[in-house]
Each structure stands twice: as C-alpha cells, then as structure tokens.
Structure 1
Amino acid sequence: MRYMATYDLMESFRNTNQWLGASASALASYPIFSLVPNPALHWMAAWGDVTERTFQRMVARPDWGIRTHTCADGRDHLVNIETVVEKPFGNLIHFNVAGREPNPRRVLLVAPMSGHYATLLRSTVKSLMVDCEVYITDWHNARDIPVSEGKFDIEDYTLYLVDFMRKLGPDTHVIAVCQPAPLALAATAYLAEQDPEAQPRSLTLIGGPIDPDAAATDVTDFGRRVTMGQLEEMMIQRVGFKYKGAGRMVYPGLLQLASFMSMNAERHSNAFRDQIMRVMQDEAGDHDPHNRFYDEYLAVMDMTSEFYLSTVERIFKEREIAKNEFVVDGHKVDIGKITTVAVKTVEGENDDISAPGQCVAALDLCTGLPDEKKAQHVEPGAGHYGIFAGSSWRNNIRPLVLEFIDANSGGKSGGKSSKPANKNAAA
C-alpha cells in the first residue's frame, strides 16, 4: 500500500462521494420537481446535503472559532491567536485576550498528534482561558510538509516540547492530553537533567498511555497482535502529487478515520441516518449538536510514518517510557530525575482508549519526587473524551487542575492557595 496511487485512490473516493452528495442535492432541488411533491426527492436532497458536508470536512482544517472572551469587566475582548514559536511540524500558539492583563497562571496545553487537529481541544482552551493564559501546541498536517523538512518521530516530538517549555520559562504549568502524556513526562525529565532552570512548575497528565500494559484496551490489544512489518505494509502510504508533502511517507488521516468509525460503526450510522431525517424536516442547522461534533471528528490529518511507527513500537510494544528506558537524541532520559515538578494524573473510570491504571503509572516512575508533589484523580463514570472536554472536565476535573496549579505556583498564580500539591479523594 506504500504508493502514491493508493493515497490518491483514497482521496479520489472521498472526492467522488463529496461530488455525489452535491449532485444529489442539486438534482433534487430543481424547481420543476416542486410541481409533484415526492418524499423520495426530499430524502435525496437531505442525503445529498449530509453526504457532501461529511466528505468535504474530511480535508478541511477546522477553525478555532474563539474570537472573543468576556472578561471580569463584563466586556467582550477580542482574542488574538498569535504564533510564539514556528517550526516545520508544529507551532506554539498563544490565545492573547486583547486588553486583559496577562494572567499569572501560564498554561501550556499539549495537544495530541493522533489523527485530529489541535482544535479538538477547543472547548478545553475556552474553559481554561477564563482563569489562565493559554498556550497550545498546534501540530501540522504531514501531507502539507515538504520532504525536504526531514523526519519527525517521537524523539523529535519530545524535543519540540522541550523547546516550547524553554520558551515559556519556569513559571509554566503543562497539561498533556492523551497521546502526548508519556512524551511530556519524558520532556520534563529531559529538562530536569539538561536545563533544570527551564522546568515547568507542574505537569498534569490526562488519560495518557504511560504504561499501556497496566490495563488492556482494544488499542493496546491491537498493538500486541500486529507486527511492525504488518503495520508498515498495511497503514503507511506515500502522499500524492496534490499536496506540498508529495512523496512523504505518512499514516493517512482518512485511514485512521476509517479505523475510528469502525470501532463504533452502528452508533455512527445511526447518527447520520437521524441527521438525514432532521434535514428533511428542517430541524437541522450548521451548528446543531450533530454538525458541531462531526465537523471536528471528521477533520483528520496525516501523521508522519516515523512518528506513528515509533509510537507503536517504542511506547506500546517496547514500553520504553514505562520501563524508564526512553532515549532522546542519544541521551537516556531518567524520569527519576524529576524532583521539583509537581505531577498529577487524571483518568476516566470508563475510558476505553487509555484505561485507568495506564496514566497513574507515571507517579511510580517519579522516584525522585516527594509524595506531597504527587496527585491523582479518577473521574467516576467518565469516558476518554469527557475527562478533557465534557461535563466531567468542566464541573469536576478543571477545578481540581486549577487547584493543583495554584498549589504549585510558588505564590504566583493569583489564586488563594499556595500550599503543596493536593491529594484529592481519589488519590
């Protein structure tokens, strides 16, 4: 499958379905058909609208959609999205609220590179902007990065995080969501050895696979069943001539989206069937719950082949982070060297991606960190998405994270607490 023709075949399939949807919608909308009302034509138009939108947004990068923020003065302030550090494979961006004094809580939100854009954390960003100065890693679509820019694997990802942390300085609080949790832990340990003055004040790891073998899921089972040779043969393709990254070996976003949807095929098919009926009955809108969710869910990006394969091999199969054997740029990282950065883990009781036990393993690896600087939380009834973007995050987890940040800010957070790291009831 490692050919441009295969990559272009998937894009052709997507493009064809988008065209079929647009054609069906246009055909069913001919004025002449209104002379003979027919439910089949209404269904055809609705099917066309939903199908066109579905396949069109697979190649569209979602907008952040964060334009204003209501501050304590009761006024809406413009939000300027500024690039702080620009790199070939990802930028560090800042949500600067115009006219607001910089918030003393400086947060670096590390977005996952797992097939979706950083905009997947839009609601997380908006909720943190109320009380924090928010920065986030904005990873680029590999298909748009020329081959001349070189490779990008998990070691490069870790070094990007190191550079971002150095740029923001030691008064930063890092929150890593899902996939980057083990690499954020490694980046912090790397700084602890190489540049202690640049270490963040706290590190919060949310639903990440620190030790994938601590609790089995479909994701970890897949990693065990399939060999690296099979993965490379089945999953890796070469970007076609249509994009700037022509010739780059990638794990295509469309292929990963197919895997995502196959895990819950019945639920997704029911959702689209119901949406077609809502469009027929004029009950749908651009910003209804279905479109808000799928506009983000279906917008996928390619990952470099070396990043995808090294993640599977080194994080899931070899468990280099879990064994404290991770090497970055020839340097063996010792997580036990973290002695001053407070570490908190957050897990969801019903998380079927990174099950409870996988993330909290980070605390055992931090052998040089005092117990008072360790904290953990397991959110009852929460799934993977809920622990960073759902009601569980808004109502329960976010307040705990802010409390943890304040407890480890050295009196600079602006919050009421300056005590050591919290140990909540789930610890």
Structure 2
Amino acid sequence: MRQMATYDLMETFRNTNQWLGASAQSFASYPLFSMLPNPALQWWAAWGEVTERTFKRMVCKPDWGIRTFTCEDGKDHLVNIETVVEKPFGNLLHFNVSGREEQPRRVLLVAPMSGHYATLLRATVKSLIVNCEVYVTDWHNARDIPVSEGKFDVEDYTLYLVDFMREMGPDTHVIAVCQPAPLALAATAYLAEDDPKAQPRSLTLIGGPIDPDATPTDVTDFGRRVTMGQLEEMMIQRVGFKHKGVGRMVYPGLLQLASFISMNGERHSQAFTDQIMRVSKDEASDNDAHNRFYDEYLSVMDMTAEFYLSTVERIFKDREIARNAFTVNGRKVDIGKITKVAVKTVEGEKDDISAPGQCIAALDLLTGLPDSKKASHLEPGAGHYGIFAGRSWRNNIRPLVLDFIDANSGAIKPANSNVA
C-alpha cells in the first residue's frame, strides 16, 4: 500500500503542477489586465503556459504524426498505421502507404522499452518509409495493462520479438535501436536453433549494450554501484487506483524522466527558461523546435518491474548476452548458432549511453557466422540519438544500413534514394 500511495503521490504532484500552470496562465491573461500592460504579467502567463504544457505531456502518448507520404508519382498517399499482431504488452505495427506498390525491403524496427514510447523513432520511420515497408514494435504503458495479463520480463520480450519475426517471414530485415539490441540478437539466435526458416535476412544493431563492460559509462556504472535490493526499494512502485493496471509493480516513467533530466539538468533548465522568454515575447509557436523536442522527450511510460529489474540484473550486471549465457524458459540461447543472418553494428563516437565498444562486441559472439556477413560502423562525432535520428542518421548511417540490407536481400532499389 505504501508503494501505491507513493505512485499516486507522484501523479498528484504532476497534476498539481499542471493545474498551477493552467491557473497562472488563465489569471495573468485576464482581459482586464490588458488595460495596464505589465511585463511581469506577460512573464507570468508565459510561465503558466510552458509549465502547463510540460506537465501535461508527461502522461500523453504522442501521435506518430505520419499521415501522408509523397510517392514517386508526385501524389500524396495516405499512410495507414495498421496493427499486424496485437498482444497485451505490445503490438506490431505496419506503416502501409496506400496506393503504393509494395517495397522490396521489409524492415522490422525494434523500438526500445526504456521509458519512452516507440514514437521516439518517428524520424527513423519517416526516413525508412521512403523506400521500405516499415514495421515497428509498439510497446504498451505498463500502468494500463491489468495484473491478470501476468508478468513481462526480458525473456517475454525476447519471445515477443520471436513471434513478430515469425509473423513477418524470412525476407525481413531487423533494425534494433539501443536497449533491445541484446534481446534482438537473442531472439535471432533462438530462431536460428528453433525455427531456422523464420530467421530474418539481416540484423542491424544500433547503439545497444551487448557488452556493457566493454566501455563503461555512467549508465552502466550505476548498475554496478547499487544492489538489486536497493534498486527494487528505490525504483519500484505499485500502480495507483486510477489506472487499468492498478496493483501492478512498475518502474514509473516519471522516475525515469527525472533520471534523464538530472543527467543534463543545467541544459534542460536553460531550455525552459529560454522558452518562457520566447513565449512572453510572442516569439514561440505550438510547433517550434522546443515544443517538438520536449513533447516527445517528456512523454514517458511505465515499465513492468520484472522487465526493468531483469534487464539490470541479467544484461548489465551478469552480462548474460555478453557471456553467451542467456536463457529463455530454462533453455540456453546460443548466439553461435547464428550462421546465415548478416549482422551489422552501428555506434556513435560520442555516445555517452552505449559507448563505442559495447555494441560491436556482438560480432565476437557470432562464432558461427562468416566474416563476410559481419559489418560495423562508427559514426564520427555522433551522440546516442544522432545514430538513429538527425543528420548523422539521414546522411551517413541510413544509406549504409540500406546498402547492407540490399547486399543481403537482392533488393534492386539503390540505397541512396532521396529522403523526403
């Protein structure tokens, strides 16, 4: 009960700040005050507007915002987001461009379950939809999943990926971004032994912690500094009464967001101060750079407690993937069984979350895969987000990934097609 009260207290704090922002904006914008213009009132209203939007976004799942796509015929085609596989903890989505011929590249984009929604990969999806059939794993907010649906840990996550790959078939090319990279590698190895015909043609691992100890960072060191008991006591709470998942043990998204912000506290504080000044001067807009970034960054989701704790214990502390000792339902998943799936790793030179060396460690585990089917790329000057979104991804990494896909599938379209 104490943990449930703590969860509801966090939501009360968030809700109160949202209300304070809305109240401040409403009061300072009262029409009568326009008779006596006062910069303090303008600043007060701006503070209220920014504060209300900030705390409101924390509990909103962002929209994909991908509604149309201009094809080679010069016409705008509707993009229908279709659910291919529906499961309690996550769905498989397909971005189907209506009226367009099916593209030869079938890409499964595995989104991370690390506090943000799959929409964090919106820019990645937009860049790939140009000449690929894009499928995405859309993980659900744990607070909205009834306790009756059971647990969901790293083994369940792996089996979800196995099911998604089977559904898409052997002509699939998997791209795993950040957190799911080790589990995508494990899912591929699981299929290699259990159902070889369902294996994807290629697997691209982007900035994932295959071996967290290869190049330690603040993120990986945190897992070493605390015990599992301390972690459970500090981070795990029970979902409150107002949600469908009432009683479920979770790692709250609000706690994860607090951790994200604390890593670059001064920069975030300055960003919000600057935005308040822009709003007060009527220089901001609903879709300006600040709002585009923070509308996504602030939208967080809860993870099941068992998934969060098993990730820390088995991937970071015990390094089960790095040691090729990962098991699913008591059965060892041997990464060395992968003999046909081409594997490429992508890392960012300035990645401070999954530092260079952590992801490329996957290639050493692939003892049964010929060197001709292994590849790696280190992007100069790129940080963590830059290797799957932004200029580094669009201009450098995306063409290399598509070339790698084509080399292992026989796709006929050139990889350097223009990005819309």
TM-score computed with the length of structure 2 as normaliser:
0.98
CA displacement 1:160-190 (0-9 Å, x = unmatched): 0000000000000000000000000000000
Please give the alpha-carbon distance, in whole angstroms, between the structure 1 residues aligned to 2:227 and 2:343.
34
The structural deviation recorded for 1:89 is 0.0
Q: Which residue is equivalent to 1:316? A: 316
Please give the alpha-carbon distance, in whole angstroms, between the structure 1 residues aligned to 2:106 and 2:275.
40
> What SS does structure 2 have at the residue aligned with 1:82?
strand
In the alignment, structure 1 residue 168 sits paired with structure 2 residue 163: no
The structural deviation recorded for 1:388 is 0.1
Contact 1:105 1:173 in 2 (8 A): yes
The structural deviation recorded for 1:415 is 2.9
The code of the aligned residue for 2:68 comes to T
The structural deviation recorded for 1:414 is 2.4
> What SS does structure 2 have at the residue aligned with 1:270?
helix
Q: Which residue is equivalent to 2:152? A: 152
The structural deviation recorded for 1:2 is 5.8
The code of the aligned residue for 2:413 comes to G
Q: Which residue is equivalent to 2:96? A: 96
CA displacement 1:278-307 (0-9 Å, x = unmatched): 001111111100000000000000000000
Within the candidate set 412, 415, 418, 1:414 is matched to 412
TM-score computed with the length of structure 1 as normaliser:
0.96
The structural deviation recorded for 1:390 is 1.3
Q: Which residue is equivalent to 1:425? A: none
The code of the aligned residue for 2:87 comes to K
Please give the alpha-carbon distance, in whole angstroms, between the structure 1 residues aligned to 2:45 and 2:246.
36
The code of the aligned residue for 1:123 comes to A
The code of the aligned residue for 1:230 comes to Q
The code of the aligned residue for 1:156 comes to D
Q: Which residue is equivalent to 2:341? A: 341
Please give the alpha-carbon distance, in whole angstroms, between the structure 2 residues aligned to 1:195 and 1:292.
42
The code of the aligned residue for 1:210 comes to I
Q: Which residue is equivalent to 1:8? A: 8
The code of the aligned residue for 2:42 comes to H
Q: Which residue is equivalent to 1:82? A: 82
Please give the alpha-carbon distance, in whole angstroms, between the structure 2 residues aligned to 1:247 and 1:130.
43
> What SS does structure 2 have at the residue aligned with 1:3?
helix
The structural deviation recorded for 1:416 is 5.3
In the alignment, structure 1 residue 66 sits paired with structure 2 residue 66: yes
Q: Which residue is equivalent to 1:124? A: 124
What are the equivalent positions in structure 2 for 1:253-402 lying under 5 Å apart? Answer: 253-402=253-402
The code of the aligned residue for 1:261 comes to I
Please give the alpha-carbon distance, in whole angstroms, between the structure 1 residues aligned to 2:87 and 2:155.
15
Please give the alpha-carbon distance, in whole angstroms, between the structure 1 residues aligned to 2:375 and 2:285.
43
RMSD of aligned Cα (Å): 0.8
CA displacement 1:132-174 (0-9 Å, x = unmatched): 0000000000000000000000000000000000000000000
CA displacement 1:59-88 (0-9 Å, x = unmatched): 000000000001010111000000000000
Q: Which residue is equivalent to 2:209? A: 209
The code of the aligned residue for 1:90 comes to G
Residue 76 and residue 416 in structure 1: after superposition, are their counterparts in 2 closer, same or farther (change >3 A)?
closer
Which sections of structure 1, spanning at least 5 residues, go unmatched?
418-427
The structural deviation recorded for 1:211 is 0.1
Please give the alpha-carbon distance, in whole angstroms, between the structure 1 residues aligned to 2:37 and 2:413.
63
CA displacement 1:253-282 (0-9 Å, x = unmatched): 001100100010000000000000000111
The code of the aligned residue for 1:344 comes to K
Aligned residues: 415
Contact 1:2 1:236 in 2 (8 A): no
Please give the alpha-carbon distance, in whole angstroms, between the structure 1 residues aligned to 2:61 and 2:321.
32
Please give the alpha-carbon distance, in whole angstroms, between the structure 2 residues aligned to 1:222 and 1:271.
27
Q: Following TM superposition, where does structure 1 have runs of at least 4 consecutive aligned residues deviating by more than 6 angstroms?
A: none
Please give the alpha-carbon distance, in whole angstroms, between the structure 2 residues aligned to 1:206 and 1:124.
12
Q: Which residue is equivalent to 1:423? A: none
Residue 280 and residue 176 in structure 1: after superposition, are their counterparts in 2 closer, same or farther (change >3 A)?
same
The code of the aligned residue for 2:293 comes to F
The structural deviation recorded for 1:34 is 1.0
